[in-house]
Amino acid sequence: MAIDTSMPVLIVDDYKTMLRIIRNLLRQIGIVSVAEAASGADAVSTLRGGRFGMVISDWTLAPMKG
């Protein structure tokens, strides 16, 4: 399966270390267009402001639900 390395990716996590780990893993497979959000609210705002081919998100981002 081919990976579109030009695809913009949004990673969402409230733990900075996890953001760094995921960014580094994406870089290893050639994806360099990566945006980060540290909360659910930040993620919603970022999604409204741009287009992303993939979102990788933490399951629990208090205080948001769902």
Residues in Cβ contact with 61 at an 8 Å cutoff, skipping those fewer than 6 apart: 12, 13, 14, 39, 40, 43
pLDDT at 12 over 90: yes
| pLDDT tens-digit readout, 18-63 | 999 999 999 999 999 999 999 999 999 999 999 999 999 998 887 7
Q: Report yes or no: 43 and 66 within 8 Å, Cβ to Cβ.
A: no
pLDDT at 5 over 70: yes
What pLDDT is attached to residue 49? 93
pLDDT tier at 66, thresholds 50, 70, 90: low
